[in-house]
Structure 1
Amino acid sequence: MKKTLAALVAVTTIAGSLAVAPAAKAGDGGAIAAGVAGGLIGGALLGGAIAGARPAPVYVAPAPVYVEEAPCRWVRERFWDGYGWRFRRIQVCD
């Protein structure tokens, strides 16, 4: 949304600067004042829309939880198989 709005503002600014405005006359019926007022109101609306945007969400890690170890665990045990020492994993329960 922000990128779209920024692109729209950029295109509008460039188009407005390229538009050719006729020279103002003394008896134009307040057209310049209406243009200035319209620009101020439009700027206030766009500025309010941009400034009122919500901040990005904040992600917080959950609180640590105590987890009790299982009553059984795997342990490496060294044994002689007749040719040499080897290791095997056995389950030990307390």
Structure 2
Amino acid sequence: MKTLATLAATALLAAAMTTSADARCRGCAVGAGVIGGLAAGAIIGSAIANSGPTYYEPAPPPPPYYRGPAYVVEEPVCRIERHRYWDGYGYRTRRVEVCD
């Protein structure tokens, strides 16, 4: 890239320099400057066009962490049952909650 910039700067200076040896050519310096500018633009433009795409590296994944085991608290299974009992006068039933 430095070589390309040096070459473009040299071409621009060479085109911009006027010589006093030929007094009859009054518009030669302007024409040479335009041609040098077009050449430098073509060189720089082709260097930019041929440059490869820029790839960005994705962010790294987050670090792993320890969550511990997932405990499931099992609640006891309860149900209601009928129990018969003797109350002294006869059998009676009542509901009782029984948990396993």
| TM-score normalised according to structure 2 size | 0.34
- TM-score normalised by structure 1 residue count: 0.36
Structure showing greater relative contact order (alpha-carbon pairs closer than 8 Å, 6 or more residues apart): 2
